[in-house]
Structures are given as C-alpha cells and as structure tokens.
Amino acid sequence: MPEDEESEKQRRDRELIELLNELRVAIPGVQVLFAFLLIVPFSNGFPKMTAAQRDVFFVAFLCTTVSALLLIATSAHHRLRFRDKDKERLVTRGNSLAVAGLSFLAVAMTAVAFLITDVLFSEPWPAVVAGLAAGAFGWVWYVIPFLGRKDPG
C-alpha cells in the first residue's frame, strides 16, 4: 500500500471527524435561530401578528426544531455507540441526518425571511424574498455541489 493511501479504518475515522466538524458549524446557527423563535411569542408585537404570520412562524419553529434534532442526532449516536466499531454505518446515517437537517433549516430560514419581510413590507415582497431565499438555498446548498461532478465509475 502506498504511503499516501489510507486504510479503511483511517478513512472511516477521518470521515467521522469531518462530519462531526461540519455539524459543529451548522448546529450553533440552528441553536441561535431556535432561541430567537422561542423569544418571539413573548414579545409585545406577537399579538399583532396576522393568522398567516403566526402560521409561517409555527412552520419556522417546527422546522428549526426538526433541524436541531437531526443535526444533533449524529453526536448523540456517536456518544451512545462509540465503542461499537460501526463507524461506517454511523457516518452513512450521520450524512443522511445532516442533509435532512440542513433541508429543514433551509425551510425554517426561508419561513423566517418571509415572516420578517411580511412584518416590514407589503405584498409582493414577502413572497419575492422567500422565493429568492428558497432558490438561493437550493442553488448553493444542493445544486452547486453536483455541478461538474466527475463520474464515480
């Protein structure tokens, strides 16, 4: 085996470390958004919100909750099963959980962009801003990574 190649164990260890480090970047953002959303119902302006604004707020709150659950899950799984010598499954499952968690985060942030724009401006700006946010998340987080991808075969 050439010196620059890594063993399967080294690869699994590296991939798990990379995944956990990536989650360390995303999780604080979700936690800050979640904290913000927890405070909003207790603010003076909340009773003035329309029914539609409350619905969008609730979608943002639920999506942020699910995002936090999914993004933190890999760390919990790792801690609970760290001696099971099953890192391949942990990395594969963790990757799926992270992608799903980021998807819920994108929906939550799009909903928050809609809500804040709706409070500040009249139609059509909330829909325009939310559409641009959703498009940006889709493009930057999901399309760009696959552009120019080499055939794995």
Concatenate the DSSP letters of all residues of 104-145 into one string. Answer: HHHHHHHHHHHHHHHHHS-TTHHHHHHHHHHHHHIIIIIIGG
CB 27 within 8 A of CB 74: no
| Alpha-carbon span 69 to 110, nearest angstrom | 19
Q: What pTM was computed for the model? A: 0.84
Amino acid code (one letter) for 117: T
Per-domain residue ranges of the chain? 8-42+54-146
| Alpha-carbon span 18 to 118, nearest angstrom | 38
Closest CA to 20 of 71, 83, 84, 58: 71
Q: Which of 1-10, 11-20, 79-88, 134-143 has the lowest mean pLDDT?
A: 1-10
Average pLDDT over residues 23-46: 89
Closest CA to 98 of 22, 42, 38: 22
Structure confidence by residue, pLDDT tens digits, 36-71: 899 988 888 888 899 999 999 999 999 999 999 999
Give long-range contacts, CB 8 A cutoff, 24+ apart: 25-28: 26/71, 26/98, 26/101, 26/102, 26/105, 27/68, 27/71, 27/72
